Structure 1
Amino acid sequence: MEADQVLDGLDPEQLAVARAVRGPVCVLAGAGTGKTRAITHRIAYAVASGVVPETGVLAVTFTARAAAEMRTRLRALGAPRVQARTFHAAALRQLGFFWPKIVGGPLPRLVESKVRLVADAARTSGLALGRTELRDLASEIEWAKATQTRPEDYENAAAKAGRAAPLGPREVARVFEAYEELRREHNLLDFEAMLELTAAVLTEHADVAAQVREQYRYFVVDEYQDVSPLQQLLLDTWLGERDDLCVVGDPNQTIYSFTGATPGYLTGFSVRHPDAAVIRLVRDYRSTPQVVRLANGVIGQARGAAARHRLELVAQRPDGPEPGFTAYDDEVAEASAVAAKAAALIESGVPAREIAVLFRVNAQSEPYEQAFTDAGVPYVMRGADRFFDRAEVRQAIHLLQGARRADDDAAMVVAVRHILAGIGLSPEPPGGGSARARWESLAALAQLAEDVAAEHPGATMADFVEELRARAAAQHAPELEGATLASLHAAKGLEWDAVFLVGLTEGMMPIVYADTAEQVEEERRLLYVGVTRAREHLALSWSLARSPGGRKNRRPSRFLDGLRPASPSLAAERPPRRAFSGPQPCRVCGQPLTAAAERKLGRCADCPADYDEALLDRLREWRAAESREQKVPAYVVFTDATLQAIAERAPSSAAELGAIPGVGAVKLNRYGAAVLGLCGADPAGD
C-alpha cells in the first residue's frame, strides 16, 4: 500500500497522529474517538514511508483481544509483520529466546493463577483462609509486585496508598514473603516476576539489551493510563536512551489503580519529554449526541489531577433517544424491568449480543440472571477469565484433540456435539450461575464447529482442532450469542448498541469502601466508562430497597446529581424506541394502540387492512432462507407482525422501511436492500 493511501479516511486529528511518525508523541484519546485507527495508521504510514521497517516496531497493549485487533488492522494496512503484543506476551517471548543462552536449561514455569501458591504460603504462615480471602490476598500481592513493593516495605506502602487489605498489613507482608520464597524454591514465574526478570536480563546483559534495542526501535503503547510502575520499568529498559515512543491513553478512563496502574505516566508525559507532540482526539464516532452529553456531564464534575486533563467529547453521530433514569422499588423489580426492556429491544431489531447490563460488582448479577432466564432472553456472563483459559474449554479441547483421528470425519459437527454433551452441553441452557457460564462456553464451541463446517465443507475433526489451536494462540474467542451481563471493569474496551447501567446507589456507586477523594474520583471514572460503552440506547437505574417489601432508604448515586430529573415523578425512563413513546393511534380508526404487535402494524388487530398477499408470501420465504443461513430462529430476522407491516405498507425507500416499527437501523442496514427488492423498490433509489 502506498504511503498516502494509508492516510485516506482519517479526520484532521487522526491525520495529525498518523503524520507524527517520530517520537516522542502523546495521544490523549477520548472514548470512541478512533484511537486504534489512528495509531495503526501511524504505524502503517511510518512503515510505508520508510521511517521504520515492519520488524522494528513493537506495539504494546493490555489485552490479547486488543493486540489481536491491532494485528488484524495492520495486516489490512500492509504491515503484517509488525509485532503487536501485550506487555506479558512480549516479555515472555524475549525471555524464552534469551534464557537458554544466558542461563541455560528451560525457562521457569509460568504460574497463571496465584491462588494455589498463596494458599500454600498462607498455611506456611499459620493462616487458614477461605477461597475468597485467598483470591483477595493474591490480588494484594499482585498490587505490591506491580508497584515494585517488597514484602518488607509492604506495611508502609499499603498505609500510604490507603489499601483496604483482606488481612492485617503485617499478616499480608508475612504471606507475601512466604509466597516469594515458595515461588523461587519451586522455580516458578508469575506475571509480575516475568516482567521484572525481563528488565533485569536486559539491564545485566549488555549484549542482550543491544540485540533487543537493535530489533525494536519504534514503540507504541496503548492504554497508557493503565501502566504500572513495573510495566514502565520494562518499557524504559526496552527504550534505553531513545525516545521514539508514542503513547496513547485517556485519563478519564483510569479505573485500575487497585492493580497498581497510575495515570501519572500519561499525564506527566510532556514533563518527562518536553519536546513531545501532544495530540487530542475528541470526535466521538461511537455514541449518539445524547449519550455523549451525559458522558461529558459525568466526567465534567471530576476533581483532582486527572480532571486537569479532562477531554470533552464532540459527538459525530446523528441524534438518538435520551438516556433514561429510573428508580425501582427493589432489586427484583429493577432486574425484571431491565429484562423486559431487553426483550423489547430484541423484538424491535436490536441483536441480543448488542445489549449489555453492567453493574459495579459481580455479586449483583444473580437477580439479572434469574430475570433474563424468566423472560426467555439469552445472556452470557462476561468475567475476567479469557475464553480459552476456562476450565471447561480446556477440558473440551483436550477431549477433541483425543478424537481428532476419529474415522467418521465427515460427521465432524455431530462428533463435536457428542463429545461436548458428555461434559455438560445440554439442548437447553441451565438457569444461571456457574452452570450457565459453563454451558455458554460449550455452546460456543459447538457453534464454532458448525461455522467451520459451513465455511469449509468436508472439514475434519483434525481441521477443527487446528482452528481451535490457532484461535487459542491469538486469543480469538468465538462470539457468544446473548445479552452480556458484566461488571463495569470487565466492560472496559467494549461497546454495545444498548447499555443498562444498574444498581446505581450510594454505597455501590461509589462503592462503600471508596474512602479517599481519589478513590471516589476513580468510581466516577468507572461510571463514565459505563456510559461511554453505549452507542445508542442507554438506561441508568437504581432500586430503593434490596428486597420486595424492604425499607426504601437507598439514595441514587451522587454522580447523577444534576444529570437526572430532580423530581421522582420525572424519573421514568424515556423509551428507547418509538414503540414505547406514548399512545400511537391506529391508522385506520384512530384509537390508541396498546399491544406491541398492533403498534408494529400501525392499526388495531381487527381493523381492516389492504396488503399484497403474494408479497407477504415472498417475505416469509425470504425470512425462512435467512433463518436457515444464519442458524437463528425466524423471529430473530423479523417477527410475523413486522413482516405483516412491511407487506401492508410496501415501502419504496429505505426511509419508509426504516420507519416501520421492528425494523430499526441495524436490520435496515442488514436486510434493507433485500426487503426493498422484494417490495419492488429500487434499494438505491434514495
Structure 2
Amino acid sequence: MSSLPDWRQVRARAREVRAALGLGPELVIAGQVVAAAVAAAGLTVIPVGSDDPLLRGARAALFPDDRFVVVDDDLPETAQPFAIAHELGHHFLHAEAFRCVSGAVDEGPVTARVPVGAGRVEAYNPRQRRETEANVFAAELLAPGPLLRDRFVAGDRLATLRSLLGGSEAALLHQLAASLLVPPEPVPARARPAGATPPAAELPALDPSQDAVARVPSGPLLVTAGPGTGKTRTLVGRVRYLLESGVAPERILALTFSNKAARELRERITAVAPERAHAIVASTFHAFCLDLLRRHAHRAKLPADLRLIDPVDAALLLERHCAELHLVHYTNLYDPALYFDGLLRAISRAKDELVDAAGYAALAAEMARAATTDAERLAAVKAEEVARVYGCYERLLERYGRLDFGDLLFKSVALLRADAEVRAEVRASYEHVLVDEYQDVNHASSVLLRLFAGDGRGLWVVGDVRQSIYRFRGASPANVQRFGQDFPGARRADLEVNYRSVAPLVELVGAVAARLDPAATTGSPTWLPHRAQAAAPPIHGLIAADGEAEVNALARLVAEYQAVGHAYSDQAILCRTNGQAAAIAAGLEQRGIPVAYLGNLFDRPEVKDLLAIVSLTAEPDGAALVRVATLLDHRIEPDDVRAILAAARAAGLAFPAALVAAAGFSDVSPAGREAAVALGDRLTALAHGRDAWQLLARYLFADGTYVATLLADSSPGAQLALLAVGQLLLLAAELAAQPLPEGAEPKRTFLQYVRELMATQDVRLQLPAHADAFDAVRVMTVHASKGLEFPVVYVPNLATSRFPPGRQHDPAPLPHGLRSDDLPASEQTEEACLFFVAASRARDVLVFSRAERYGQTRRAPSPLWELVEEVLARAGLRTTLVSEAVPADTDKPTRRSREADAPAPRPPDAGAPRPELSLREVERYLECPRRYYYRFVLELPERPEELAYKQLHDCVRATATWLAGQIDGPGGRPGWGDVAAAFDATWRRSGPVGHSHEGLYRAGAEDLLRGLWTRLHEAPTGQPWHERLVVDLPDCRISVRFDRALVESNTIRLARYRTGKPRPEHRREPRLALYREAARQHAPGAEVDVRIHYLADGSEVAATTRSERELLDRLNDAVRRSQAGEFPPQPQDRTLCATCPYAFICPA
C-alpha cells in the first residue's frame, strides 16, 4: 500500500558505516563523522574554489581512482560536511565511478515528493536515482533517524541537537522531519498464518505462461495479465532474461503510468539485479519526456531552464490575466476563477489527444456547423470559448517560459515527429522498451511509443483492458485493441494462473470479466486458481436497513475476522468515492475500529492547525487565533479570544503584534493576556524573515509539545497525524524552493497556493514504505486500490447513485471528435471495470453490501448487485439481511482531544424578548451555522474575493433599487446615461475599487444593470409598496428587504433579483416564502405574486408555493438555534468548504 519511496536500505547502509567507524548510539559532530568516514574509506578531502574545473559547478566531487574528494571551499562551514558525506554515499553505495553535477547535493526533503508542483513528475533515470541515494545516505550518516527520534522523545530540541551535531540547520530540520514525522521502522514483519499462500509478489519462480512471455526473443508482444497473475513479476522476469542474454542495462527502458508504479518497478528490478539495476531507466512517460525535453531544449525551441507549472499555478496564472480571456459563458462574478480548473482539465485532455488550440477551435466550429438545437448551439459556443482560453493560455505559458504537464507529452511527440536526428538517437539508445499498465496509456503516450519504438522488435507491453479505470483522465484502452495495427506482426499472450485469490473468488472474477462490455474485453478469461478451495464460504452479500446499519455490519464483520486471525491491516474497505470512504472511516472509528484512511490532506485537523499557525503570522486579521487558541501549547479561552479580536479590531492592530499588545486589553482575563503575549512572542520570533517551511519546521522542532504529543501516542490515528504533518512540510519545502512573484511575501504566497490547491485539487495523504506497521483497516477508493491485494475485502454502497455514483457535471465537456478512442467509453463499462478491480483485490474473503436507505432517501440495488446475487446463487449462498440500525457512539473521540472553538449551547431565556435578525444573517446560518458564528458572532472578516463580490452585489442592488424607484415614482423612466451615472457614483463610494478584478466586476455589473434597465422599461408599473418589512415568526422576528415591491389592483408583486443563472432550487429558497408571509401579515387578503428575475439573461420564474410552512419553520428554527449558541460545522453544501474563508480554522 506504500505511496512513498522506500529508502530503508540506503539508510541502513549509512548506519552500518557509522557502526563500523565505532560511532555508538550517540550523536557526534558532523565534521568528526565525515573525517572518520573519509579516513576509513582511504580518501583525502581537497578544498578548492567554487570555480575550480574539478567541481564542474557541483558542491563536491568524488574521484575514486585517485582516492580523493574535492569540496567547494566557498561553501559555509556548516554545509561542507553534508557535501562530503554525499560523496561518501557514492563511495559506499555505487561501485562505478560517478561525477556529481550542479544541484546534485541537496539537503532538502529528498526522500519524498508531494504530488503537486514538479513533485507530480518523478524521474527515475539512473543519475537522479544515485544522487538521491547519496543525499539520503549523507543525511542518515550525519544524523541517524533512530538516534534523533530517541533524543527528541527524551526532550532535546533543535538548539540542543544542533549543538551536538553541528552542520546546517536546514539539513537537520529536514532530517528531523524525515525521522519523526513517519512511523518508526518496524521490527521484522509478523509471521503469516500457517498454511497461508504468500502474495504473488513473493513467489519465486515464473510459471510456464509467465516464463514463455518473459523469454520471448523479440517483440512486439502484448501480454494480457489478469488480476493476481503476476504481471510485475513477469515484467521483472523479462528484465532478468534480457540482462542474462547480454543486453546492456542502459539499453533497457521501462515505462509505466504512475510514479508509484515506477518506484515499485525500480525496487523490484533492484532486488533481482542489484549490481546493474542502477543503469536501467524505469520511469513514467511524463518523467521520461521531461528528461528528453531538457536534453534537447534547443532543438525543441524551449528555454534552457525549462520549468514546469502545475495546475494550481496554472489557475493562478489565468486568474492574474483574467481580463485577457474575455470570458462569457465561463465567467462567475462571485468567484472569477470558478471555472479555471475545468477549463484547464479540458485543455490538458486536448493535449493528451495531441490537439492544439487551433485544432480545438476547428472541432468547435464543426460542432457549430452541425448544431440543430439550442442545446447543441450552446455547447458549440462554449467549446469555441474554451478554444480561445486554450490559445490565450498557451501564449501566457510561452511568455513566462513554462510548460504544463500536458506539454511534456505533447511537445515530446512534436519534437520526435519533426526532428529525425533526435528520433534516431532515442531509438538507438534503447534496444528494449517495456511498458507496464498499457491499458492506462493515453493517446499521446501511444504515439510517442510508436515514434521511438520503431517497428517494435524490442517492444514488450503488459496490461489488462478489463482494469481500465482511468478513462476519465485520458487513458485509452483502445491502444490495447489497436496494438496489432500500430505494430504490424505483433503477437498476444496471456498469463494463465491467478495466484492471489481462492478458487471461488477466481471464478467470481472471471464471471465479472465475462460480463464486461464485449468491446472492452479480450474474450472470456479462464484463469487457473493456484490456491485451493476455501474451507468457509469466501463470498458474502449483506443488505442493511440503512446506511448506519450497513456501517455497523461492516464493523462487526471486521471485528469477527480480526478475532479469527485476520489482522485489521489485512482488511480493506473499497469505496466508489472519497466521500463514501470518509463517511465509512468515520463510522468505523466511532465503533472502535482502528482505521487507516488516506483522506484529503487538508481535511486533517493537524494540517489545519499548522495552516492556522502560518495564517496567524502572515494574515493581519487574526482569524486563525480562533483555532490556534485551542492547541495545548497556547490554550486561550473562547471568551478571551473574542475579546482579543474585538480589541485588536477597535485599535486597528494587526496580528501577530496584536497578541503582544493584549497585555493592555482590559477585557481579557489575566490568564488570557499572559497566554496571548507568550504566543505573540513565540510566533514573532519564529516568523521573522522566514518562509512557511522555515516557520513550520522551527515551530515543530525548536520548542513546544505538538510533535512530542503525537509521538507519545502509538495509535494508528496519531501515526497518520504525524504523516499528515510531514507531508504539509514537504509541500511547504517544495514551494519554498520556487521563485516568488515580484513583491510577494512568502508565507502569504504559500497560503494563497494552499487555498487554490484546496479548491481545485484532491491531495491524498500518502503512506510510507513500511505502511504495514499500521494495524488498522484500510479504507480507500477503488481507484486507490489498483495494484493492491488484501486477505479480506469489503465493497459497500452497491446501490443506485452510490456505486455507480450519480453523474458529475462537467463544466467544459470535450468537443465531438476530440477523443481518438473509438471504443464505446460508456459510463457503464467504466463502472463495471471498477467493480472488477474491487472484486479482484480479495485473497480470501469478499463481502458485498448495500443499504435500502441512505439518509432519508430509499435506494434501489445497483445494476451491479444482480451480478452479486448471481454469483452467490451459483455458490449456493444467499444474501444476509441486516435489519437493525444500531447508532454509533458519536461522542467517542476519534482523534486526540481538543477544546471547542465555539461556546457550548445554552438554554433559552424564557423571559427574553423575541430576537430580531436580518434575513441575510439567517440565510448565512442556514448555509453553515459555524460559518455564521465566525462571521456574525466573532465578526471575522471574509476573504477579499468574497468582500469584493459583496460590494459588487450591493452596488448593483442599490442602483437597481434606485432605478425601480425612479420608474415607479413621479420622475418617470431614466435614460441609460442616468443609470450609468448613478451606478458610477455608487461604485466609487462602495465598490471594490482597486481590486485586481475591478474591471471584470464593473463590466459584469454594468451588463446586469443594462439588462435590468431594458427590462424595466418594458415592464408594467404599479404603486410602490414597502421596501422593508419585519415578519413575525413563532420564536423570532426577521427583517426582510425586497428588491422591488409593487401594488397593482389587489395584487402585491414582489421581486427577487439574482445575478446568476436559473436553477430549479432557486424557486424553493426560504427567502421567497418569507416574502409571501410578509405580504400576508401586512396586507391580509391581497393576492401575492413572488417572482425571481435573473439579471444576466432577463428571464423570470414564479416562486413555488409548495412547502412554504416548512420553509418558514426552517427560518424560525435557524434563529432559535443561533440564539441558543448552536453553531455546528454542518454546511448545506460540503463542496463549498474548500473555498470557505474560514477553512483553516473550522473543525469540519
Query: How far did residue 284 of structure 1 move?
Result: 0.7
Task: State the one-letter code of the partner of 1:499.
Answer: V
In structure 2, do the counterparts of structure 1 residues 104 and 300 end up closer, same or farther at CA, with 3 Å as the change threshold? Answer: closer
Alignment partner of 1:563 is 2:563: no
Alignment partner of 1:42 is 2:238: yes
Count of aligned residue pairs for this structure pair = 523
In structure 2, do the counterparts of structure 1 residues 280 and 401 end up closer, same or farther at CA, with 3 Å as the change threshold? Answer: same
Alignment partner of 1:506 is 2:506: no
Aligned to 1:109: 307
Aligned to 1:152: 361
In structure 2, do the counterparts of structure 1 residues 431 and 24 end up closer, same or farther at CA, with 3 Å as the change threshold? Answer: closer
Aligned to 1:356: 572
Query: How far did residue 149 of structure 1 move?
Result: 3.0
Equivalent of 1:301 in 509, 515, 524: 515
Equivalent of 1:522 in 830, 849, 856: 830
Query: How far did residue 437 of structure 1 move?
Result: 6.6
Query: How far did residue 303 of structure 1 move?
Result: 2.3
Range with bigger deviation, 277-286 or 143-152: 143-152
In structure 2, do the counterparts of structure 1 residues 517 and 264 end up closer, same or farther at CA, with 3 Å as the change threshold? Answer: closer
Alignment partner of 1:247 is 2:461: yes
Alpha carbons 2:574, 2:795 under 8 Å: kept: yes
Aligned to 1:421: 706
- Paired with 2:268 and 2:366, the residues of 1 have a C-alpha distance of 41
TM-score by length of 2: 0.41
Deviations 1:58-80 (A, max 9, x none): 00011122112212222222241
Range with bigger deviation, 525-534 or 188-197: 188-197
Query: How far did residue 16 of structure 1 move?
Result: 0.4
In structure 2, do the counterparts of structure 1 residues 232 and 337 end up closer, same or farther at CA, with 3 Å as the change threshold? Answer: same
Alpha carbons 2:710, 2:719 under 8 Å: kept: no
Aligned to 1:194: 408
Aligned to 1:235: 449
In structure 2, do the counterparts of structure 1 residues 367 and 404 end up closer, same or farther at CA, with 3 Å as the change threshold? Answer: closer
- Paired with 1:476 and 1:175, the residues of 2 have a C-alpha distance of 40
Equivalent of 2:581 in 339, 349, 365: 365
Query: How far did residue 214 of structure 1 move?
Result: 2.0
Range with bigger deviation, 38-47 or 525-534: 38-47
Alignment partner of 1:272 is 2:486: yes
Equivalent of 1:442 in 711, 722, 725: 725
- Paired with 1:197 and 1:207, the residues of 2 have a C-alpha distance of 16
Task: State the one-letter code of the partner of 1:361.
Answer: T
Query: How far did residue 439 of structure 1 move?
Result: 5.1
Alpha carbons 1:384, 1:490 under 8 Å: kept: no
- Paired with 1:152 and 1:490, the residues of 2 have a C-alpha distance of 35
- Paired with 2:582 and 2:719, the residues of 1 have a C-alpha distance of 12
Percent sequence identity over aligned pairs: 28
What is the 5 A alignment of 1:116-515? 116-117=316-317, 119=319, 124-126=325-327, 127-128=331-332, 129=335, 134-150=340-356, 151-153=360-362, 155=364, 168-320=382-534, 321-382=537-598, 421=706, 425=710, 440-442=723-725, 477=769, 479=771, 481=774, 482-513=776-807
Query: Which of the pair has the greater relative contact order for Cα pairs under 8 Å at 6+ separation?
Result: 1
Structure showing greater radius of gyration is 2
What is the 5 A alignment of 1:508-587? 508-513=802-807, 518-547=826-855, 550-558=856-864, 560-561=866-867, 562-563=869-870, 570-572=878-880
Alpha carbons 1:488, 1:529 under 8 Å: kept: yes
* Unaligned 5+ runs, structure 2: 1-202, 614-689, 730-765, 810-823, 883-1148
- Paired with 1:85 and 1:424, the residues of 2 have a C-alpha distance of 39
Task: State the one-letter code of the partner of 1:152.
Answer: A
- Paired with 1:393 and 1:95, the residues of 2 have a C-alpha distance of 40
Deviations 1:370-428 (A, max 9, x none): 21221232323336999xxx9899999x999969999xxxxxxx986968936995866
Alpha carbons 1:219, 1:244 under 8 Å: kept: yes
- Paired with 2:851 and 2:303, the residues of 1 have a C-alpha distance of 59
Task: State the one-letter code of the partner of 1:538.
Answer: L
Deviations 1:609-652 (A, max 9, x none): xxxxxxxxxxxxxxxxxxxxxxxxxxxxxxxxxxxxxxxxxxxx
Query: How far did residue 231 of structure 1 move?
Result: 0.9
SS in 2 for 1:40: helix
What is the 5 A alignment of 1:611-650? none
Aligned to 1:681: none
Alignment partner of 1:95 is 2:293: yes
RMSD over aligned Cα, in angstroms?
Answer: 4.5
- Paired with 2:705 and 2:295, the residues of 1 have a C-alpha distance of 37
SS in 2 for 1:69: helix
Deviations 1:498-551 (A, max 9, x none): 21111111233333339977321121111000101111121111111112xx35
* Unaligned 5+ runs, structure 1: 1-6, 407-413, 447-473, 575-686
Deviations 1:554-582 (A, max 9, x none): 22334533525579x941189xxxxxxxx
Deviations 1:191-242 (A, max 9, x none): 1101122222333333333332221121011111111111112212222455
TM-score by length of 1: 0.66
Deviations 1:265-300 (A, max 9, x none): 112212333422321013111111122222122222
Query: How far did residue 329 of structure 1 move?
Result: 1.5
SS in 1 for 2:545: strand
Task: State the one-letter code of the partner of 1:371.
Answer: G
Query: How far did residue 322 of structure 1 move?
Result: 2.0
Query: How far did residue 13 of structure 1 move?
Result: 0.4
In structure 2, do the counterparts of structure 1 residues 60 and 134 end up closer, same or farther at CA, with 3 Å as the change threshold? Answer: same
In structure 2, do the counterparts of structure 1 residues 258 and 120 end up closer, same or farther at CA, with 3 Å as the change threshold? Answer: farther
Query: How far did residue 171 of structure 1 move?
Result: 4.5
Alignment partner of 1:20 is 2:226: no
